[in-house]
A and B are shown apart, each in its own frame.
Chain A
Amino acid sequence: MKHSVNRPPTPDAAEDQGKEPTLQEIINIKLIESGEKERLMELLRERLIDCGWKDEMKALCRAHVKKKGRNNVTVDDLVHLITPKGRASVPDSVKAELLQRIRTFLMSAAL
């Protein structure tokens, strides 16, 4: 099998080289390993659909594709297009809810 030949070093190698993992990294790994990140992602998806954020982004993308033509737009173009607007238009209540959930998780994970 081709893909097993050129495997890059495993994640532990980073710590062997003396690189301190950032706090963000540590939290991220804890979230993933416990499965909490998946749950948070699902919650976020639901919230963003409910408040119409997803529809807004979809409409932006559609307008862009209509303007440029179906064959002249790539995924990267669309990501570049909606990222700033998307980040800015997430409702504060959604941000607050997710932050609260993460805080609760961190307390219970006894970091």
Chain B
Amino acid sequence: MSSKINGHVSPQPCPHLLVFRSRNGPKPFRALQDCIRVKPPGGRAAIRREPTEVPRCGTCEESSRSRLYACVACAAVFCHAPLLHSHASDHSLSIPGHEIAVDVDRAELFCCACGDQVYDRDFDAAVVLAQTVNATATTSTSGSTAMQCSVAGSQPENLRKRRRVDYRPWEPDSGEHISRGNQSIPLLDATNASLVSSTQQPWGFRGLNNLGNTCFMNSILQALLHTPPLRNYFLGDRHNRYYCQQKNGAINGTKNSRLCLACDMDALFSAVFSGDRTPYSPAKFLYSWWQHAANLASYEQQDAHEFFISMLEGIHEKVEKDKRKSQSPAGSGDCCIAHRVFSGILRSDVMCMVCGFTSTTYDPCVDISLDLEPNQGGSGKSSSAKSLNSFNFEADCMRPNQNCGISTLKGCLERFTRAEKLGSDQKLFCQKCQVRQESLKQMSIRKLPLVSCFHVKRFEHSSIRKMSRKVDRYLQFPFSLDMAPYLSSSILRSRFGNRIFPFDGDEQDASNDLSTEFELFAVVTHSGRLDAGHYVTYLRLSNQWYKCDDAWITQVNESIVRAAQGYMMFYVQKVLYYKESENQGTS
């Protein structure tokens, strides 16, 4: 019952809806739009003939039925409970052309003959507009003024639909068989087996020496060394540094052939996973990175997050130069391993508050930077403020996402995806009105990456006061995180119910419920002041936590991690995390 138009899936109308449309002109629900009322507490849209109407079934005169539908043809209201009695069905059977009705409490169209929801683009757009305008208007009495314009959006460009492929277990081909034997070093053999089994630590743990304020680099490297897809890529020899340098030596001459951050990563992985437990000095890596990020080349303390971004760029740049591929779609992650692992797509909806025209843009991102709340005690949801009056106040505070003064990562994400009214000094150009208008902006996540990196903005740089300061406020973060509420599909659906959105993409979000669950595997923390501080990384393997403090790696209790001041948190998709930790062939 769905068809694709321009790559977008939209539900096909049932035969009764088609007949109804053919009989009632191009905008058959135009009159219904005048009856859209938006109700204050939750901002939900309802259908009422008059604002104070109490709808009741025309046949049984009950108003306390759970589903009441108003016939669009004659405005009569009937109840609908298919197994007990459905006066709505009776009505639709008795008069042809009266099959289409609207749920009075949900403002959703329904076909009484088919027993299923149907959709009309213009009507849904009008409901969306009524709800949005009402949510932000200061003195509106009801959202029922005639809506002439429809909500439209720009098409997402170059978004390919990802097809699922069946799982096939890996078998080496003939070439791989040979190269496996020739150039690989066995991980566990007689010489280093004793080395490994004598320690309690899992594979791949090696301290990194501080080369002079380089804890910012060490902390990020430790996190990357244990980022499951990244680790698998390099340990799986997907970027062979010998082969890469050979190739580049031939093309560019020996000078440039050394600048490949991916080769340096490969070398780092080999060193750290070799089985040698003595601390490693990533001097060559540091030197290469200095060459790449010349402006940051010094022995001063740098920002770990800046280093992270610059590293990903470095890996991307070199690979791009090599392959000289045609530009792959932004955010698809086809360009390099860095983007394949970290790149997601953010969606930004900007709605003009005068005419309702919405422009949607999609931007790739490798991480999400979150603001801490400006002041403690601010509540995440408006309805939770309301519930302070109920006698369940204490129970409310026990709920994990109720804010009683503690900042949480979920709270930050909720704020990140909240609809925000842009100030009057930030008017954006509306294509429909052709002038700058006040706008409403809402962010959401269109596509989740394999690894989500959250960066907490703890360093405030005030250009006014010409100073920077660090925000030490504690942020609570979960070990398991479900990103479903922050997806574009969830954000839009929670505001408007079941509607057609002209820019709605594939429906894969619904069937992807498994891949919205993430597991925390690394936390980069910062302690101390802005100018004199120290970075430490906590890693989680097989549900054990380890503290990586430059050259020293120790096992710690999870309570230590929970209490730490998180600066960057790394979450990997749950399906990738479990498989990884199952195969820890250790002690």
Contact = CB atoms under 8 A, between A and B. Distances in A.
Given A2-B73, A6-B74, A74-B115, A25 B42 contact: no
A99 interface: no
A70 B2 contact: yes
B186 to A, nearest CB: 45
B114 interface: yes
Contacts of B399: 50
A4 B61 CA distance: 20
Nearest to B384: A46
Interface in A65-89: 70-71, 74-77, 79-80
A93 to B, nearest CB: 8
A40 to B, nearest CB: 9
A96 to B, nearest CB: 10
A11 B54 contact: yes
Interface in A1-45: 1-9, 11, 14, 19, 24-25, 28-29, 32-33, 35, 38-39, 41-43, 45
B63 A29 contact: yes
Contacts of B52: 33
Contacts of B2: 70-71
Contact of B61 (A14, A62, A74, A76): A14
Given A70-B2, A76-B82, A1 B74 contact: no
Contacts of B77: 8
Interface in B476-492: none
B117 interface: yes
Contacts of B115: 74-77
Interface size class of A (residues with CB under 8 A): 35 or more
Interface in B52-80: 52, 54, 56, 58, 61-64, 67, 72-77
B321 to A, nearest CB: 45
Contacts, number: 88
B200 to A, nearest CB: 38
Contacts of B513: 62
Contact of A38 (B24, B41, B73, B390): B41
Nearest to B381: A46
A39 B383 CA distance: 10
Contacts of A74: 114-116
B510 interface: yes
A5 B63 contact: no
A59 to B, nearest CB: 8
B74 A3 contact: yes
A33 B74 contact: no
Contacts of A70: 1-2
Given A6-B76, A39-B41, A62 B510 contact: yes
Contacts of A75: 110, 115-117
Contact of B75 (A7, A28, A42, A62): A7
Given A25-B63, A101-B390, 16 more contacts: A2-B24, A3-B74, A3-B75, A7-B75, A8-B58, A19-B61, A28-B64, A29-B63, A38-B41, A39-B386, A42-B41, A50-B399, A70-B1, A74-B114, A75-B115, A75-B116
Interface of A: 1-9, 11, 14, 19, 24-25, 28-29, 32-33, 35, 38-39, 41-43, 45-46, 50, 62, 70-71, 74-77, 79-80, 97, 100-101
21 contacts: A2-B73, A3-B74, A5-B74, A6-B73, A6-B74, A7-B74, A8-B58, A11-B61, A28-B64, A38-B42, A41-B42, A43-B383, A45-B42, A46-B383, A50-B399, A62-B513, A74-B114, A75-B110, A75-B116, A75-B117, A77-B115
